[in-house]
Every structure is written in structure tokens, then in C-alpha cells.
Amino acid sequence: MVLLSVSGSSTLNFFLPFLTPPPSLTLSRTPNHLGFRLQLRLPSRPLVSSLSPPSPPHALPAASSLPLGELVERDWSFVEEDATNSYEQRADKGRRIIAAADVETGSRVLAAFPTASFVDRLVESAPCEHMVAIHESLFVLAMIKEGHDRVRCWQGGIDVIPEKFYPFDSVFVCYFPGMGVTIETLLASLAGKCSPGARVVLSFDQGREVVEQKHKQQFPDLLTNNLPDRISLEQTAREHLFQIIEFVDEPSFYLAVLEFHH
């Protein structure tokens, strides 16, 4: 076996679908307990695509020479931890969030920075033609892919989504504070990726207080923004041809539903 430490998203996004057999993941916490160290264990033989006939050995680079560096995987598990809601409350809020996006059978859906449990609920309750999940975390994406192979997973932010995946009819922005962009940047990018009439749903089922009083205090390196208030969201939405059709900002529940008018 050859042991590779990996970093960045572009190399992994290219290689992971083609590894035969699949790599094994080794995760260990870094000393500050805010991340994982991620390692891929690959077979020592050359990598071969499962989608095409094998090429002669001399045509492929040795596994040990692949241009991969080291990646420290940051730990996003705190988003799943929920001391605010009971199981029933979280399920009810999840159904409300999903219903707000008006997903139909032929919809093209984007889930940005979702938890694996949210994708589980989304797949079960809103069958659609095409679903893409994006996240900074390879670990989260691996969990999503393990449970739902048909979900297209892409590592990175809103601007790294390949053009072939959009336009989207429904977009779930599941944890905006951790996306590393302003609401202006987010909506400007989504305006070029949404179909006319598309719904964009910003939500967090534990509400603003948990983000500002707990997450931002404990994980200041991961959170760059608060959940947008109505006034700032309304102004920015208008500039990018979105209209707010529902807005809820309660201590333990946040939901903002936008519709794209192009």
C-alpha cells in the first residue's frame, strides 16, 4: 500500500471517482481538536478508471508520484449537534425547510454546506431529477456519498460548481455563516446559477442565537458571518433580482425564502 496525504479540492475532485478499488480514509484529530487529519490509503498498483479499459502501465503515473499534498480536514460536526430541538422538532423544521423550496420531480437541486442528516431527509422527502451537494469538508461529502450515491458531491464553495450542474430550480443554503462569503457574493453567484422562478432557501434549524452566542464564540475560525437580517437581505436580494417570499427569524429557527425573477 502507498500512503498519500492530500490537500486542495481540484485534484481530489478529479481522482476520487476513478479510484479502483476505492481508497480507505484515515481520520485523526489535530491537537487543537478543531479538525481532522485526512489520509488516503491507495493500492500500490497504478490507478485505473472503472469507466474505461485499462491502459498500459507505462501510460499512468506511479501512485506515489501523484501531485497531492497534505490536507487538514476541519471539523464541522458541531453543526449536527443540537441541544435546541427534540428529534420531532428537528424533523418538523426539516420538513418545513424542504417544503419551502418547492422541489418537484424534475427539479435540479443544490444543497450548500448541508449536514449528512439533512441530505438524508431531502432525498427521502423530495425526489428530484438531479441533486448536487457542496461543502468544504471531504468527510461530510464522503458521508453523503456513502448514503446516496446518486448525489453529485463537489468540494468547495458556491463558485466552484461546474457549469454542467446548473441552472438550479431549488437551492438550500444550509449553513450560511460557515460558507466564507458575504450575502452579496452568495446571491450574485446564485443569480447566474438559478432558473427563472427558482427558490433559494437560507435556513438554520437552531436559530440565530446558537450561531451568534455559541458557534461564533467556540469556532471563530470557521464562521465568517451571521445569518442576515431582513433589511440587509431584502436590499441585497433586490439588487440581484431575488424577492423575499417568506422570512422567519426566531431565537430557535431561521428561515428565509427567496424567489428568483429573471
C-alpha span between 176 and 173 (Å, rounded) = 6
Q: Residue 31: which residues within 8 A CB-CB, separation 6 or more? A: none
Say what the alpha-carbon torsion angle 39, 45, 49, 50 is, to the nearest 10 degrees.
-100
> Has residue 112 got a pLDDT over 80?
yes
Strands 35-42, 72-74: parallel, antiparallel or unpaired by DSSP? antiparallel
Greatest extent of the chain over all pairs of C-alpha atoms, in Å: 61
C-alpha cell at 227: 445569518
29-43, 59-73, 123-137: which has the highest mean pLDDT?
Answer: 123-137
Grouping H, G, I as helix, E, B as strand and the rest as coil, residue 187 is: helix
C-alpha cell at 71: 490536507
Rounded to the nearest integer, the mean pLDDT of the chain is 80
pTM, two decimal places: 0.76
> Has residue 6 got a pLDDT over 70?
no
Q: How confident is the model at residue 3 (pLDDT cuts 50, 70, 90)?
A: very low
Grouping H, G, I as helix, E, B as strand and the rest as coil, residue 49 is: coil
pLDDT at site 73: 84
Instruction: Write down all domains in the chain, each with its CATH number in brackets.
Output: 2-75 (no CATH), 78-260 (3.40.50.150)
Q: Which of 32-41, 81-90, 122-131 has the lowest mean pLDDT?
A: 32-41
pLDDT at site 2: 28
Rounded average pLDDT over 99-124: 95
Distances (CA, A) of 53 to 22, 23, 66: 17, 20, 21
Question: What digits encode the pLDDT tens for the residues 94-105?
Answer: 999 999 999 999
> Has residue 198 got a pLDDT over 80?
yes
Helix residue spans in the chain (DSSP H): 10-15, 87-100, 116-125, 138-147, 183-191, 208-210, 216-218, 230-239
